[in-house]
Amino acid sequence: MESPIPVEALDASFDLVTRQEATEQAVDALRGDVEDVRTRLDRVSRAAARPLIEGAPSIEVKGFVDGYLRRGRETELKSISGTVPADGGYAVPREIDAMISARLKNISPIRAIAQVVQTGSAGYRKLITTGGTASGWVSETGARDETATPSFAEIAPPSGELYANPAASQAMLDDAMFDVEAWLADEIAMEFARAEGAAFINGTGTNQPKGFLTAQTSAAGDSARGFGTLQYVVSGNATGFDTAPELKLIDLVHALKGGHRQGASWVMNARTLAVVRKLKAADGSFLWQPGLMEGQPNRLLGYPVVEAEDMPDVAANACPIAFGNFRAGYLIAERSATSILRDPFTNKPFVHFYATKRIGGQVLDSDAIKLLKIAA
């Protein structure tokens, strides 16, 4: 007969089974917590990888607009931009800067057709060849003589600090329905476009771009003029157009080299355009042709017409019409970042936003732009 199991051994076995069951339950609960954490991490990862809804502002823009523009909290900018030592302002987020640039291109006529380069510093320099590279023909076994060295010229567009200072009341900024971002971009773009549009045409080159109409001019052809001097064609009349103005316009077109005529355009103001639109060819047809489709530019002798109100009117010794490939002929160099300084103290209760941007401009290739001069 087997001896009975002691009561103490049975109690110990029961306690062991109970602890094992509790441990298994704890492990199951821990596994459930781990799975829950994994699910949440997957959800966060998918949300982070998902692109932003089109039109929705980024975190950077939202922090800049709500924190700095509306409330003036500079601490909001620590994670999105740094200070600009030159003017004490803050570089705006790229989205707002892109909005300003897009509006500038639509408003400023010369910017829309010229060559625009972005720079990281205040100055910009470019070397271009003026004489080309010499070459020659030889036989398969003939000697190769040394060719002439090409000539270079340096382009350093004069620049200046362009600024705008729009203002809004604090009540407008406190209104959540007021779109500060769009308002500020529109105000800055309008002021910048007005100022730079005049400078790209008539700028003196002193603390501002040098306009193409302030460059030296000559009636000599491309091979006879000095570098940086624009060619003009006279109208044939000391105070206006002669009896056959369409012939002078044709002469102006063909004074431009064939390569530059690809992409060339006319530039004149609205008053000059009103005169040109009335011109007719010998068969009675108008030289000016309206765009056949919406969004297409109007054309003169087959080339698009750009209206620039800063061009001079038809008058003695003036150059009211320019024709050329401005993307090859005029260079705009600008520092890539617009800076904004918030000023709530100068004109209370209005808050001023002092925006600055360094912009330069100069004639790049003097063979690519031709002028019509009112002269006999």
Q: Are 174 and 344 in contact (CB under 8 A)?
A: no
pLDDT of residue 213: 96
Task: Answer for the pair 331, 364: CB distance below 8 angstroms, yes or no.
Answer: yes
Q: What is the pLDDT of residue 83?
A: 41
205, 119 contact by CB (below 8 A): no
Q: Each residue of 13-30: pLDDT tens digit? A: 556 556 666 677 766 777
Q: Angle 325-326-329 (CA atoms, 0-180°, nearest 5)?
A: 90
How would you class 250 by CB atoms within 10 Å of its CB: exposed for 0-12, middle for 13-18, buried for 19 or more? middle
Tokens matching residue 13: 């076995």
Name all domains of the chain by residue range, CATH numbers in brackets.
Answer: 59-130+150-208+334-363 (3.30.2400), 212-332+367-373 (3.30.2320)
pLDDT of residue 11: 56
pLDDT of res. 132 = 61
Burial category of 11 from C-beta neighbours within 10 Å (exposed 0-12, middle 13-18, buried 19 and up): exposed
Q: What is the pLDDT of residue 54?
A: 44
Parts of the chain with a pLDDT under 70: 1-22, 26-27, 34, 37, 40-96, 121-122, 131-133, 292-295, 336
Single-letter residue type at 210: K
- Residue 68 has what pLDDT? 64
CB crowding 167-197: b at 16 or more within 10 Å, else e:
ebeeeebeeeeeebbebbbbbbbebbbebbb
* pLDDT at 67 (0 to 100): 59
Which element (helix H / strand E) includes 27? Answer: helix 7-49
pTM: 0.71
pLDDT for residue 50: 46
**In Å, how far from its chain's centre is CA 175?**
30
4 prior amide bond cis, ω within 30: no
What is the predicted pLDDT for the residue at 43?
62
